[in-house]
Structure 1
Amino acid sequence: MASGFCEDCNRLLTEFIARVRTFCREFEQKLRDIFRELCRCTCFRTRPERRSQESPSVHLLYDDETQLLSQEHLQALNRLATSENIDLQMTAAMYYLHLSHHLNSPLPDAFMEPLMALLLSTDLDVQKTISLSLVNLLVKNNACKELVIEMGMLVPILESFQSGDATAQCHSCACVTMLASSESNREAVMVDGIIPLLALAKSYDPLVQQNATWALLHLAQSDWSTRILCQAGAIPVLVLLLQSSDSEVQFYSCTALCNIAAVQEHHPKLLSIGGHFLLKSLLTLMSSSVQKNSAQACRCLQTLSKNVLIQEQLMELDCVLPLKALLKTSSPESAITLLSTLSAHPPNNDILVSEGLLDEIGQLLHHHRSSFVIITHSCKIIADLCSSCVGQQAVMESPCLSELLWALLSPALSDETMLHVTLHLHQLMTWDPLKSKLSATITSEQVSRLVKLSGQIQNPELSYNSSAILSKLEITGEMVQLLRPHYVAMLDYLLVFLQKKDVKFQQLSIVTLFNLKKDGDFSSLLAGSELEIQLRKVHAQTEETRRLLQMIQPLSPSSVNP
């Protein structure tokens, strides 16, 4: 688990910033309307003595942005924030809200002092306004997260969890989340914040629950922090939240559990809730209509499935049916990854075959011919399921083989993906029934592609795999017609193979030559060619090696002990 933000967290932070900014714009407009009406009143024009302290605060919001951080304003904010008058405190809090919305540069450290004083206000509305301002400043990186902790602001932020006010709790949760995003702060937040956050995560208010779960997710970012979370009793809370009616809460709790599951020592605690409650909840979430939730549930199950015991329990819970359904969605990557993990455990394979998984894999390959994740895991699943005769027969009856061959022609596939395709096609051809099926199915375009890949000497493994497939094709009359246009190109790469020091390339070249010589046209091309000369050299070297080995052949046991 990385200490930084993952792709999902970056997206969530972006959404959060957008929501905060929208709120601030609406709030600011209402605020301006109120102050505009106030300024028209004679109370502000006559400036009675009782209002003399308020006049500097009223015009703060109307100053030019360049003046927002002036020394005069700092002095005014200090007076307002430390005043016992709640209205004056609120004026300072609203100024910070305005500042948090418009500030594009770091907030000077001196401006943090009034902010701290406002957090300690006895008025709940002041606390809510200033905590929202702090959230905005933290989101935009205008306030130093480390300084916030050093100044002791975490204490009043956590205390507002007990306020009973949903808005105050949400703002405080957001503050904690942003502070926990700094690795250096996480320990301080973990020590004092976990228990209050777990309590808020049980709130009946959906928004409070959502913010608390989001904060807990940001605390589950390292092995150390997940261990503390587990010790504090976070697992039962997070598992229950999987069944929340709020899709965001489901996503945050599932992601946090996924992070926890990445550390295998936590698996006993994750599974300690009776009746396979966690696995059942994740399987239910996997069927969610919210795509990100179903995908995240799959990822969590995939992480857990590294434990063979959990795999067995999943199979008992009929996990294949919902996984097959996910393969038909627009984002089947997480489902195919989990199925790939399950197929690696041989006892699961008969069930996977009987559930018709190979037909689904064939359809998936047809619709996702350029996806590295889909092709890579599909290849692995097909190869895994071919470990039995039943699986081989099911592969032949499915569209899997033809779709793997068509993948060879995809111009969008990288060499890395093509390496997986050729590797598994070669592996499939080690079984005679599949070799016959592939030989009868392959087209002239696919043969041309394999010949071209065989000549990519700069990628030896891809070249080897492609040539190995060609070497195993059954040399029938139809196959000879497909291969004849490529004899010259094949002679070229076979010569390169023979010249290599790697014995496996030399052996592959010889096997291929043996098969191709069944066609008289190829034998004619081979006669007197540079390839034939090199073949004689290899033969001579081999004979010499054999002779030398005989010279040092150890005496048999019978000659040593007559």
Structure 2
Amino acid sequence: MGQLCGRCMQLLRDFIGFVQRMSSDLVQGIKECLTLISKCSCLKQNSSKTRQLYKPILQPHERVTAEEFLQHIETDFEMSPLGKDPLEALRTLSFSENPGLQQSAALYYLHMSQHMNIPLPVEHLEPFYALLRSADLEVQQMSSLSLVNFLLEGNIDKELVVQMGLLEPILDLLESEDPTVQCNSCACVMTLAVSESNREAIGAARGVTPLLSLANSYDPRVQQNAVGAILNLTQSDKIQEVLCKEGALPVLALLLESPDSEVQYYSCAALSNVAANVQHHKALLRPSDRFLLQTLISLLSSPVDKDTLACAELLQSLGTLLAAHKTDPVIVGHTACIIKNLSLSKNHQRITESCCVEGLLQTMLLTDTQEDSLRYVTSCLAELAKQEGAMLHMVQWMDEPLTKCLVRLAGQLEHPEPSFHAASVIQHMIGHEKMMLLWKHHIGEIQAYLKNFLTHQEVRFQQLGISTFCRLRADPEFSLAFGKSQMAKLLEQVRQQTEETQELLRAAMCHEDS
């Protein structure tokens, strides 16, 4: 048997369509289809007679409607795109079994969705059911896109779309193998899910599972819209439970590491909505090795813009967390790291106005035996102290116990990072009258850590020591104390070492050039 020609392939497609429709004349249709194929020229020589037997599926009334519709498009579209006659024609073409006619209807709707700025009448939603159910890929693409456009422009009532029965075909299109159809159908669900009643309908129709599947799509457009739809669904407590049962939390946690900032934002916001419900906290923290916590911290240190994240409510929550768990080194460390990462996104003013600064200072008094926690806390304070406003706010909270704590930490060189950060905070606070009075109670301890800094192997310690020395020396009492302790002699040694190093470098560079 030879290879089937195009006409016979079309007949086979029609046969498949007959089977799918399960019409009453199924058996007769199969017989006629097989008879036509058997008489085709690709199998026998009597080709001319067989060609005359083949007719495209186009009913007489459909032909007339198509001709009238074409004439309407050419002459009257701008005047009456939503008239009664076009609607009847759209119904006829949309429910036709001929893909070409369905494409015409879908194209008409797409054109309307791109140019119309008035609400789409309810009766125009009916043809969408047939178009979304079409077996033709182009019809699916155009009709789903036009529906997205209508929804985004507010030309269709979102709850009415569900009431008209269009949710089911939209959800079916989520399982399409075509990325464009997937993208459009996800966008439809995302837009529809802004309504509470629609969210419940989507959950009841088992729309969560295909969305979670598409959230892992390799197509960035599909993934963005799928995760955006999930975000809108998380605004419902009922759907949150469904999402958790369907395994959404690990999926969303992994998407926090996506290179796409849109996906990062949608998944983070979705997790935030779920985290607002106490009953889901255990499920959120279930993944091993504190995966979610570590990923959130990593996300905060990424270049993604976080002004939007540092809202007053979040900062208030972080401050409350520090106050309630100030003896827990893990919570204190992670909270301090989050605050620091937020401060890197130019949120200093919001942080200063919150209770976070006070919380960080107070936890410093209680975490002296936990190096990791101290490292995060002092690092955050050192970052904030670089900003004049935040530093002035810190000065307001400083008292003798906090001053003593900072000086002691600066002198603990066995913990180099907390030592350096504490000394950095001290250096930024020099010059304020209140702090100078407090520092004078610890002149000896300050001199001791400055000597260690000046002889430290790391240049950053030496530079911080010199900078602090120069600022403190402007005060008569510190200047007198430095003179008696021969700090000037130590500085001279550092200067000589620096000059020797510079000479060696110049010699090395000259040798390389020659």
For residues 457-476 of structure 1, the aligned pairs below 5 Å read none
Match of 1:365 in 2: 388
User: Normalising by structure 1, what TM-score?
Assistant: 0.55
Preserved CA contact (<8 Å) 1:340 1:381: no
- Equivalent-residue separation in structure 2 for 1:268 and 1:384 (angstroms): 38
- Equivalent-residue separation in structure 2 for 1:341 and 1:94 (angstroms): 62
- Equivalent-residue separation in structure 1 for 2:425 and 2:314 (angstroms): 33
- Equivalent-residue separation in structure 1 for 2:399 and 2:187 (angstroms): 48
- Equivalent-residue separation in structure 2 for 1:343 and 1:165 (angstroms): 52
* AA matched with 1:54: A
Preserved CA contact (<8 Å) 1:343 1:352: no
1:267-308 CA distance string (max 9 Å, x none): 211111000100111111112122249947999898688666
For residues 451-490 of structure 1, the aligned pairs below 5 Å read none
Match of 1:238 in 2: 252
Structure 2, unaligned runs of 5 or more = 1-59, 369-373, 408-421, 443-514
Preserved CA contact (<8 Å) 1:385 1:391: no
Match of 1:100 in 2: 113
What SS is found at the alignment partner of 1:204? Answer: coil
| Alignment match of 1:194 (pick from 208, 221, 231) | 208
Give 1:390 shift: 3.4
| Alignment match of 2:283 (pick from 256, 269, 286) | 269
Match of 2:416 in 1: none
Match of 2:172 in 1: 159
Identity %: 40
Query: Does the alignment pair 1:57 with 2:74?
Result: no
What SS is found at the alignment partner of 2:112? Answer: helix
Give 1:82 shift: 0.8
Structure-2 change in CA distance of 1:187 and 1:143 (3 Å) = same
1:39-64 CA distance string (max 9 Å, x none): xxxxxxxxx99954422333454534
Match of 1:346 in 2: 363
* AA matched with 1:89: Q
Structure-2 change in CA distance of 1:150 and 1:389 (3 Å) = same
User: Normalising by structure 2, what TM-score?
Assistant: 0.59
Query: Does the alignment pair 1:313 with 2:330?
Result: yes
- Equivalent-residue separation in structure 1 for 2:100 and 2:86 (angstroms): 17
Match of 2:465 in 1: none
Structure-2 change in CA distance of 1:349 and 1:399 (3 Å) = farther
Structure-2 change in CA distance of 1:105 and 1:354 (3 Å) = closer
- Equivalent-residue separation in structure 1 for 2:69 and 2:301 (angstroms): 55
Give 1:401 shift: 8.8
* AA matched with 1:355: T
Give 1:114 shift: 0.9
Match of 1:132 in 2: 145
Give 1:238 shift: 0.3
- Equivalent-residue separation in structure 1 for 2:376 and 2:281 (angstroms): 29
Structure 1, unaligned runs of 5 or more = 1-47, 367-373, 406-427, 438-562
Preserved CA contact (<8 Å) 1:201 1:210: yes
- Equivalent-residue separation in structure 1 for 2:203 and 2:399 (angstroms): 46
1:158-196 CA distance string (max 9 Å, x none): 111111111111111100011111122111122222122
1:385-414 CA distance string (max 9 Å, x none): 9863435766983545979x9xxxxxxxxx
Give 1:237 shift: 0.9
Give 1:210 shift: 1.5
**Root-mean-square deviation (Å):** 4.1
| Alignment match of 1:327 (pick from 308, 320, 343) | 343
- Equivalent-residue separation in structure 2 for 1:266 and 1:380 (angstroms): 36
Preserved CA contact (<8 Å) 1:362 1:398: no
* AA matched with 1:239: A
1:342-396 CA distance string (max 9 Å, x none): 6287367652687254443232235xxxxxxx79xx8479638986343576698
For residues 28-427 of structure 1, the aligned pairs below 5 Å read 52-62=64-74, 63-191=76-204, 192-292=206-306, 295=309, 312-313=329-330, 315=332, 320=336, 324=340, 326-332=342-348, 339-340=356-357, 343=360, 346=363, 351=374, 355-366=378-389, 379=393, 383=397, 388-391=402-405, 397-399=426-428
Structure-2 change in CA distance of 1:133 and 1:50 (3 Å) = closer
- Equivalent-residue separation in structure 1 for 2:381 and 2:426 (angstroms): 9
Match of 1:553 in 2: none
- Equivalent-residue separation in structure 2 for 1:69 and 1:220 (angstroms): 37
Instruction: State the aligned residue count.
Output: 356
